Amino acid sequence: MYKILTVKSVKYSLTICTLLVGITIFSGCGSSKQVTRVDADTTIDLSGRWNDTDSRMVADEIIGDCLTHSWINDHGISAGGKPVVIVGGIRNKSMEHIAVATFISDIERAFINSGKVRTVSSSNERSEIREERADQGEFAALETVKRMGRELGADYMMTGEINTIEDREGGDQVVFYQTDLTLTNIETNEKIWIGQKKIKKFIGRSKFKP
């Protein structure tokens, strides 16, 4: 049995289609994103999680503390010259993803910018550099070849870990970050400095009242 379309039903169908198209267009416009460039040093907390500001701040403050302790003067007296430091593994033992490689780079930057220590490449970086020296030995002009066996041995290694503690109640959350770093004498295995930095963040809809 065929259904006869009346003028009224056709107008009604066209009206519905027009409304659906309008809603689709409006939804598309509403979901568009706006991108604004900001200074890289600007502090922006969107989720309250560990971010680039935390990484940079912890590295600067904890290395600043490291370089004010007696071990650096003791090294100068016993060995002479600046101590050589290598940044080893920093373990993320928190419950969230943390860009540990970025944090290590921030630590190395803080060391180098201080001018008080000499910083050498990590084991992964050394492998690539050694391959380059070997390649130079075969293909580079003799007067430009860099010799093997001239690497600078580190006196101390820095290692550490990042931990978190979370507390939730309703829609509110408190996240506590604790970063522990240790500087160890590579020759004697003696821990010569231990540093710690804590960060606490409140995340929630209600206004926090200390």
Tens-place pLDDT, residues 30-50: 557 787 776 666 766 666 678
The one-character DSSP state at 144 is: G
What are the tens digits of pLDDT across the range 80-114?
899 999 999 999 998 888 899 999 999 999 999 99
pTM, to two decimals: 0.74
Q: Is 100 in contact with 92 (CB distance < 8 Å)?
A: yes
Nearest-angstrom CA–CA distance, 87 and 106: 11
The one-character DSSP state at 187 is: T
Four-way CATH pick for 52-203: 3.40.50, 2.60.40, 1.20.120, 4.10.280: 3.40.50
- Cα(first)–Cα(last) distance of the chain, in Å? 75
Helices 52-66, 100-114: axis angle to 10 degrees equals 40
Hey, what amino acid is at 145? V
Identify the band that residue 8 occupies on the pLDDT scale cut at 50, 70 and 90. Answer: low
pLDDT higher at 80 or 206: 80
The helix (H) or strand (E) run that includes residue 54 is helix 52-66
Question: For residue 10, what pLDDT is reported?
Answer: 47
Nearest-angstrom CA–CA distance, 181 and 163: 12
Question: For residue 66, what pLDDT is reported?
Answer: 96
Nearest-angstrom CA–CA distance, 72 and 65: 11
